[in-house]
Amino acid sequence: MLFTFYLLILNAIRKKEISKKTIWFLIISITILLTFSYNAFSYDLFNYIFDAKIVTYYNQNPYLHKALDFPGDPMLSFMHWTHRFFPYGPTWLGLTAPLSFIGMQFFLPTFFLFKILISMSFLGTVFFIGKILQKVYPDNEVFSVAFFALNPLIIIESLVSSHNDIVMMFIVVWALHLLMNKKYVRSTILFILSIGVKFATAFVLPIYILILYLQRRRKDLNWQLLFTAMAVIMIIPVVLASYRTNFQPWYLLNILPFAALASRNYYVFIPSVTISFFATFEYLPFLYLGNWDNPVPAILFWMTASSIVLSLFLTMAWSIKKMIR
C-alpha cells in the first residue's frame, strides 16, 4: 500500500500535478510525526544511547568497554549486541555524547534527542539533494526529492528505526553540495566528518577527488554519470557488511541518496524502487517467527537475490521497450 502511494505520487510529479510546496509539506509532516515513533524494527538506537552513556555516565571509553562490562545497568535488558565494542567513528561519538549529557541519564529525553538528531539529518539529506539538483538538473529537483524522502524504506529505516547511516549520508551529501559550489575547505572537512560516522563513505573518496580535480581544471562534468558512479560504488560497503553478517534493509541508506541524484534515468530508478520494495518486506519473517534464527537468514538471502534478479529483468525489459520505440 505504501509503495502504491509512493509510485502514484512520483507519477503525479512527473505529470506536474503536485507542487514542490506540497511535497515538502508531506515530508515535514511525516518527519514530525515519526520523530515521536518507537523504533519498532531495530534495537540499534538503544545501543547508540548506551554507547554515549559509557562516556557521560561511566566516564569510560566505549572503544575499550562494551555494554556487558556494566551488567547492573537496566538498559541491558532491552538491548542487543551488548558484547560488541563501539563500532563507529569519532564523529558519531562527538555528536551523541553531548545529547547523552543533555539528557541527564533520563531515558525518554535522551531517546527523543537521538530521534531528533536522526530526523534533522533526514531533512538535511533531503534539502541538499534538492539544492544539488537545483544546480545541475532543476527540472528533476522535485521528483528526486520525493524519490528519496517518500520512499517507504527510507522513511522506516531513517525516521522509525533511526539508523545512524542517515547522519553519515546527510554530511556527505552536504559535502558534495559544497564541493559543487567550489567551497573546497568546508567540503573536505565535512567529507572527513562523514567518514568519521560509519566509515562507508570513504569508498566515494576517489570520485570526490576526481570531481575536485576536474573542477580545478575547469573541465565539464557529466554529473549524471558521477552521481550514478557514487551510487554504484556504495554497493561495495553494502556487500562487505552483508558478507560479514547478512543483508539488512537499512544498508540501502548508503546508496539511495546518490541514487536519488541520478533517478532521472530508468536504469537507476527501476533497481532502486524494486530492491527497496523487497527490502521493506524483509522484516516479515522476523515478525512471523519472532527471531532471526534459521530459516530466517536463508529466507532473507532469497528475498534479496530475487529483488536483484527482478530489478535487472525489469531494467532490461524497459531498455528493450525504449529501443523498439
What's the average pLDDT block by block, 10 residues per block, for the chain (325 residues)? 92 94 98 94 93 96 95 87 93 98 94 98 98 96 98 97 97 98 97 97 97 93 96 96 86 97 93 94 80 79 90 91 78
pLDDT score, position 98: 98
Number of H helices, E strands in the chain: 16, 0
What is residue 1's predicted lDDT score, i.e. its pLDDT? 77
pTM given for the model:
0.94
Report pLDDT for 301.
84
> Which ranges in 75-164 belong to alpha helices (H)?
90-102, 107-136, 141-149, 152-154
C-alpha span between 84 and 68 (Å, rounded) = 8
Q: Please return the burial class of 59, using the count of CB atoms within 10 Å of its CB with bins 0-12, 13-18 and 19+.
A: exposed
Find where cell 505504501 sits.
2
The pLDDT value recorded for residue 322 is: 78
Task: Give the C-alpha separation, 21 to 49, whole Å.
Answer: 35
| Alpha-carbon separation of residue 14 from 7, 111, 132, 150, 204 (angstroms) | 10, 38, 19, 15, 30
Question: Tell me, what's the pLDDT at 45?
Answer: 96
- All 3 cell numbers of residue 205? 573518496
